[in-house]
């Protein structure tokens, strides 16, 4: 079982090489759906572990998404239609829930550590590929878009430099699990690469450094957190001062404020009114709206929490916050668990400025980390003590 998981998590990076006639993100999606399906059906031939840890927040969120999608699907069926564009995001969520269940029911701590090691090596290969791409020596994704040569070509296996910055920053804790000279050099290389992952070549993507800051902050000993927080507050104050003096040099929102306002007004002015704000417009609704909106290139809101507020409503957002709250309350018992938790924190921070939950690779890797954390917690509860 764990071998199939390794093949899936490593192979999703290589999927565009195997499926060269498919759009890179569709290649990731095809590989993910096929791999998780195979893993799930293979689990029928494996003995399940005893699972005592519950995950009510995740269950409630999945249940609400099910009810929301079922309501929309029913309305379409009454008119002899079927809304694939609404169902596909729900299907994607269902695939991730299945993956979570398989991990927690069939893996254990030792297998998870082995898988994490393969993920670490994959990250090293990603960093080396980015280095080659920087020197224009490995442009497999050069024709990803017809005009891609105008933008940054350092995209790793992910296909987008800015999304890549968040991905690399969030998964740097893989190099802290067993800290040695090799991992230290990988961290240095990762930091250098983050300075080159802006949309324009030679510019950094701020989101990557923000994610890295919070990841490192969490991994640092608590006794120095207070000093870091004070320094952060001073930095924000100084930054706001210079932002006020030179707004054009420090703040480029890229038109996102107008996009957010449009969808906020759209949500409030629909026939559903307040009820629509509470229940949302349904998963996939933005995919239906954006082609005919004033912003036909904005398929995502670039704030996942706002995106899901629009699609799943206030109920969905509250359930997401409840899931995050339950995750934050998990207390790591050792360095391994702390690194796993740091990765998820990095993913959640990146959701404020990117759309990683709508990309297969970051979502699949993060779901494995989250399921692994819950799996280790389950194993610890069963044994009744911390496993060192």
Per-residue pLDDT tens for 285-305?
Answer: 898 888 888 888 888 888 999
pLDDT confidence tier of residue 234, bands split at 50, 70 and 90:
low
Mean pLDDT of 134-161: 69
Which of 252, 274, 299 marks a domain boundary? 252
Rounded to whole angstroms, the Cα distance separating 24 from 193 reads 21
**143 and 38 housed in the same domain:** yes
**pTM, 2 dp:** 0.90
| Structural contact between residues 364 and 356, judged by C-beta atoms closer than 8 angstroms | no
What does the pLDDT read at residue 276?
73
Token look-up 């990095």 returns: 346
Residues 35 and 111 in one domain: yes
Bigger pLDDT: 276 vs 239: 276
- Residue 233 reports pLDDT greater than 90: no
**What pLDDT is attached to residue 249?**
44
Q: DSSP label at 222?
A: G
Q: Is the pLDDT of residue 366 over 90?
A: yes
Same domain, yes or no, for 230 and 377? no
Residues 6+ apart with CB under 8 A from 388: 334
* Separation between Cα atoms, residue 375 and residue 234, nearest integer Å: 40
Averaged over 307-329, what is the pLDDT?
94
SS3 state of residue 296: coil
Q: What is the mean pLDDT of the chain?
A: 85
Query: Could you tell me if residue 153 is inside a domain?
Result: yes
> Burial, 147: exposed, middle or buried (Cβ in 10 Å; 0-12, 13-18, 19+)?
exposed
pLDDT of 239 reads 57
> Per-residue pLDDT averaged across 175-189, rounded?
92
- In terms of phi and psi (left: phi > 0; alpha: psi -120 to 50; beta: otherwise), the region of 305 is alpha
The residue whose two tokens read 């107008």 is 258
pLDDT for res 86 = 87
11 in the same domain as 138: yes
Q: Phi and psi dihedrals of 376, rounded to 5?
A: -65, -40
227 has pLDDT over 80 = no
Residues of the chain with pLDDT > 90, as a percent, come to 50
Tell me the per-residue pLDDT of 333-351, one tens digit each, with 9 for 90 and over. Answer: 889 999 999 999 999 999 9
Picking from 223, 192, 219, the residue whose alpha carbon sits closest to that of residue 208 is: 192
Torsion angle of alpha carbons 317, 320, 321, 325, nearest 10°? 170
Q: Please indicate, yes or no, whether residues 207 and 228 belong to a single structural domain of this protein.
A: no
Longest dimension (CA), the chain: 65
Query: What does the alpha-carbon distance between residue 211 and residue 219 come to, in Å, rounded to a whole number?
Result: 13
Do 230 and 146 lie in one domain? The reply is no
Contact 86, 73 (CB under 8 A): yes
Task: Indicate whether 260 belongs to any domain.
Answer: no
Q: How far apart, in whole angstroms, are the C-alpha atoms of residue 384 and residue 104?
A: 17
Is residue 185 located within the same domain as residue 235? no
With residue 96 as reference, give the H or E element that holds it. Answer: helix 84-106
Q: Is 358 exposed, middle or buried (0-12, 13-18, 19+ CB in 10 A)?
A: buried
Q: Is residue 323 part of a domain?
A: no
Strand, coil or helix: what is 221?
coil
Tokens 């430099």, residue located: 161
- Indicate the range of 109-113, 134-138, 288-292, 304-308 predicted with least confidence: 134-138
| Confidence band, pLDDT 50/70/90 cuts, at residue 387 | very low
The answer to whether residue 55 is domain-embedded is no
- The residue out of 232, 252, 272 marking a domain boundary is 252
The DSSP letter of residue 102 is: H
| Domain total in the chain | 2
138 part of a folded domain: yes
Question: In terms of pLDDT, which residue wins out, 135 or 238?
Answer: 135
Q: Is residue 14 part of a domain?
A: yes
**Same domain as 117, residue 174:** yes
Taking residues 129-140, what's their average pLDDT? 80
- Predicted confidence at residue 268, as pLDDT, reads 74
Based on the domain organization, do 203 and 239 belong to the same domain?
A: no
Q: Are residues 229 and 365 in the same domain?
A: no
Asked whether residue 174 is domain-assigned, the answer is: yes
Band of residue 362 on the pLDDT scale cut at 50, 70, 90: very high
Q: Which domain holds residue 350?
A: 2-47+107-219+333-382
- Whether the per-residue pLDDT at 281 is higher than 70: the answer is yes
Band (149; pLDDT cuts 50, 70, 90): very low
- Section 158-169 average pLDDT: 91
Q: How confident is the model at residue 135 (pLDDT cuts 50, 70, 90)?
A: confident
Identify which of 64-78, 111-125, 186-200 has the greatest average pLDDT: 111-125
Average pLDDT over residues 17-30: 86
Q: Is it the case that residue 187 has pLDDT exceeding 70?
A: yes
Q: Please check whether residues 41 and 127 belong to one and the same domain.
A: yes
- 100 falls within a domain: no
Residue 65 pLDDT exceeds 70: yes
Q: Could you tell me if 117 and 205 lie in one domain?
A: yes
């Amino acid at each position: 079982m764990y071998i199939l998981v390794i093949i899936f998590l490593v192979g999703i990076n290589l999927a565009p090489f195997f499926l060269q006639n498919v759009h890179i993100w569709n290649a990731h999606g095809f590989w993910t759906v096929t791999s998780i399906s195979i893993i799930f059906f293979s689990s029928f031939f494996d003995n399940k572990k005893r699972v005592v840890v519950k995950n009510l927040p995740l269950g409630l969120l999945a249940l609400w998404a099910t009810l929301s999608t079922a309501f929309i699907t029913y309305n379409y069926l009454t008119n002899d239609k079927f809304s694939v564009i609404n169902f596909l995001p729900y299907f994607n969520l269902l695939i991730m829930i299945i993956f979570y269940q398989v991990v927690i029911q069939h893996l254990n701590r030792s297998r998870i550590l082995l898988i994490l090691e393969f993920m670490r090596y994959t990250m090293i290969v990603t960093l080396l590929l980015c280095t080659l791409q920087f020197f224009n020596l490995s442009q497999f994704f050069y024709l990803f878009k017809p005009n891609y040569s105008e933008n940054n070509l350092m995209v790793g296996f992910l296909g987008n430099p800015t999304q890549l910055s968040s991905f690399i920053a969030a998964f740097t804790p893989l190099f802290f699990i067993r800290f040695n000279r090799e991992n230290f050099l990988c961290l240095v290389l990762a930091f250098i690469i983050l300075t080159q992952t802006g949309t324009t070549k030679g510019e950094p993507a701020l989101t990557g450094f923000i994610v890295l800051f919070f990841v490192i902050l969490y991994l640092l000993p608590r006794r120095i957190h207070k000093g870091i927080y004070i320094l952060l507050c001073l930095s924000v104050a100084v930054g706001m001062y210079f932002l006020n003096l030179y707004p054009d040099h420090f703040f480029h929102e890229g038109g996102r404020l107008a996009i957010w306002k449009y969808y906020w007004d759209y949500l409030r002015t629909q026939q559903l009114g307040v009820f629509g704000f509470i229940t949302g417009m349904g998963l996939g609704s933005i995919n239906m709206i954006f082609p005919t909106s004033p912003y036909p290139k904005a398929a995502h809101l670039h704030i996942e929490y706002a995106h899901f507020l629009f699609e799943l409503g206030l109920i969905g957002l509250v359930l997401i916050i409840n899931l995050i709250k339950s995750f934050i309350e998990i207390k790591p018992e050792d360095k391994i668990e702390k690194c796993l938790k740091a990765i998820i924190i990095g993913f959640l921070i990146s959701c404020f400025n990117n759309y990683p939950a709508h990309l297969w690779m970051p979502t699949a890797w993060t779901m494995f980390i989250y399921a692994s954390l819950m799996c280790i917690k389950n194993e610890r509860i069963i044994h009744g003590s911390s496993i060192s």
